[in-house]
Chains A and B, each alone.
Chain A
Amino acid sequence: MTDQTQNPPAIATGAQSTVKASRGGMLGLTANDFRLFLIVLVITFLAPFILNPFPEGSALAQFNAGYPDLMQRFVIFGIFAIGFNILFGLTGYLSFGHAAFLGVGSYGAIWMMKLLTLNVIPAIIMAIIVAGIFALMVGYVSLRRSGIYFSILTLAFAQMSYALAYSVLTPITGGETGLQIKNTDRPLLSNIQDGEIGRANLFGLEMRSSFELELGAWLFTFNAGYYIAAVVMLLAFYMSIRLFRSPFGMMLRAVKSNQQRMNYTGLNSKPYTLAAFVISGMYAGLAGGLMVAMDTQVGPERMFWTASGEVVLMAILGGAGTLIGPVLGAGFIKYMENIISKINSTILHEWFFWLPDGLENFVVALIYPFIGKGWHLTLGIMFMAVVIFLPGGLVEGGQRIAGWIKNRRGSGDGPDKDPEHHPKQAPHVGE
């Protein structure tokens, strides 16, 4: 590095900062990324506590989300959204058919369980492989077009799969009723008695087995299935950090930024996008496989285009192109869905009982359309608001708030950080 010694001091510090940023972390991550990963890890492992802040039986207990079914959904949709984000966030290709890969993965997983073993690992691996192959086929065709044409092509493929799963492929997909593990299923490697319905397990540990901890008025549930899914999610998240920071991830951002320059730099953008598409599809398959592992059934509605729309919402709401955004978005949407759709008018009246009668009724009538079955209305409004006011999603919102606080604190004294010299620092992806 002879050049560096010749550089003026200002430049040398710049060079040092790159070196510093690449040190300090663990697991091959930079210090910042490692911190982020650690935070996610701690939150996921303590989720049964964190999501159950209100004592059992209290009026606020309905805001608790620390029960296995919902927590499983958080992490599974988190994986789905992380995968979607690898495609959309990095390359900018908006797929409107990602639910198809999730569905295909689910079908692959359940057949593995029906035929081979009730152990979830082969099922999940099968789900990833099947979804990956399907994504390779769909991607190969769809990626020949870009922009809205790509979106429509993926949508067409997904709707086709849905229609086929519903009708012709009934022998494989179970049609409208879908597939479940039945008492007639005899997986080769699992020892199932006559008439017994097999249960998904991991080397004998059943997914639904839980350990409950009562602490005073609080009840915490630790579910085997959730923790297995959580570990898989952390793994998926870790992989996505590595991918984001890798040369491959950089190339994908280059695809989004300027394909013309990319091609004239001697890079073939097509295999890059195809690889991103397939990886993204495999993440979706993984999510689908986990869904089956947690709840051994599949139906074609899992592939419907609204399901694809939902994952788009998650990524956008959280912050497309950021590391943590999709996980946040998935958690946020699933939490809101669960909580808001449970509120009813009785609960509303309880909340606003302190208002004068007329006003109470008015307020309740005002809020009522947005709760319970009106959850989708709230979702739609939230979604529009995010796209209009906060295109960077929750992550950008958080950054803005953090920046605002910093400004208020730093406005009195504190040396300015030389804004002239760094007019526009690149936002660090994922914070």
Chain B
Amino acid sequence: MDGFILQILNGLDKGSAYALIALGLTLIFGTLGVVNFAHGALFMIGAFCAVTLNRLLTLSYVTEDPSRTDFLGNPAKVETPYVVDWFGESVGLAMIDWVVPLAILFSIPIMVAVGLIMERGLIKHFYKRPHADQILVTFGLAIVLQEIIKYYYGANPIPTPAPEAFVGTFDFGAMLGFEPFTILYPYWRLVYFVFAVILIGAVFAFLQFTTFGMVVRAGMADRETVGLLGINIDRRFTLMFALAAVVAGLAGVMYTPIISPNYHMGMDFLVLSFVVVVVGGMGSLPGAVAAGFLLGILESFASMPVAISIIPGINQIIIYLVAIVILLTRPRGLMGRKGVMEE
């Protein structure tokens, strides 16, 4: 039983990331009808927003401290981050410690800008082109974005730690009345899961309860009719692209303490997220979220030693296997609508 819970917990953080990326993919697909292979790159850019902020905050000037000497007898050099000077020691150091949460604020304008530029500059011209062209051009864009990041940040992963307060694990099992130390769960993964749930909830609430969201949902169902009603659906859809970019970006920001950002993390997640979207049902938002969590948890179960001993390698292929089975038995995915992407 405790093992069971542990696997579910382990699946949650990855599932959250899948769900968030798949949600954005579905939003873009549902509103703009574009298959965006560069969506993983947005996730990656988000993660690098955190890296960038971390670098900005730790920008330091060097002073010599005559009271101490290094091993050569020279005065010791002390690096003082500018933020410490500006905001005082306690606030400054706290900012550096809390860089990942701060990066959420930092990344939102950046992601909005990236999203708008992408949509207006490139994607806009591909609405009428075949899906194959959309896949290809966004695939090219994904390569370009990841290579730019690689050029400026290098090929190695860049560790970006969580705030001190969330480092380490807590004994989830003991809380539930199991043996102590059977279910140890890192704090940050729990934070990530909660964050993802809140973000997903916010997106759904936005779509459900605002007029803007209502128009967008109507547009997803029948774009032409909404356009005929005199509503400028295109502008809203552009904003939805920006929203999807923000969702992917935030998913990336918060993921940095779990996986040190590297330039190809976007592509790694993209392939799986696409599988998630297809499993959930192209164009279905709840489907994307449900399938994200489902596949994340399944993957975690498949990584259990028991599972691997029964079917070796199952952890590597489970997601693809599930995708194949689902696509063949339920062609439209778990919650897909009729007529989406069916030529």
Instruction: List residues of A whose CB falls within 8 A of some B CB.
Output: 92, 94, 141, 144-149, 151-153, 155-157, 159-160, 163-164, 166-169, 259, 305-306, 309, 312, 316, 369, 374, 376-377, 379-381, 383-384, 387-388, 391
Contacts and interface: CB of A to CB of B under 8 A. Distances in A.
Interface residues of B, number: 39
Given A148-B341, A376-B143, A388 B137 contact: yes
The 4 closest A-B pairs by CB, nearest first: A168-B313, A380-B143, A163-B316, A377-B147
Contacts of A377: 143-144, 147-148, 151
B320 A156 contact: yes
A149 B331 contact: yes
Interface string B5-34: 000000000000000000000000000000
A384 B135 contact: no
30 contacts: A92-B132, A94-B132, A94-B135, A141-B328, A145-B327, A148-B35, A148-B341, A152-B274, A152-B275, A160-B317, A160-B320, A160-B321, A163-B317, A163-B320, A164-B313, A164-B317, A167-B316, A168-B316, A374-B151, A376-B147, A377-B143, A377-B151, A380-B140, A380-B143, A381-B140, A384-B140, A384-B144, A387-B133, A387-B136, A388-B125
Given A148-B341, A168-B313, 4 more contacts: A146-B342, A168-B312, A259-B343, A384-B122
Interface of B: 35, 122, 125, 129, 131-133, 135-137, 139-144, 147-148, 151, 267, 271, 274-275, 278, 282, 312-313, 316-317, 320-321, 323-324, 327-328, 331, 341-343
Given A148-B131, A156-B320, A377-B151, A309 B139 contact: yes
Nearest to A166: B316
A167 B143 contact: no
Contacts of A376: 143, 147
A248 B46 CA distance: 49
B295 to A, nearest CB: 12
Contact of B342 (A92, A147, A305): A147
B144 A381 contact: yes
Given A147-B341, A369-B151, A388-B125, A383 B313 contact: no
Nearest to A93: B132
A383 B140 contact: yes
A167 B312 CA distance: 8
A255 to B, nearest CB: 11
Contacts of A147: 131, 341-343
A146 B129 CA distance: 17
Contacts of B312: 167-168
Nearest to B141: A384
Contacts of A374: 147, 151
A379 B140 CA distance: 8
A164 B327 contact: no
A145 B342 CA distance: 9
B343 A164 contact: no
Contacts of B271: 155, 159, 305
Contacts of A387: 133, 136-137, 140
Contacts of A160: 316-317, 320-321
A155 to B, nearest CB: 7
A387 B140 CA distance: 9
Nearest to A153: B327
A379 B139 CA distance: 11
B325 to A, nearest CB: 10
A153 B137 CA distance: 20
Contacts of A384: 122, 137, 140-141, 144
Most buried by A among B125, B312, B317: B317
Contacts of B147: 374, 376-377, 380
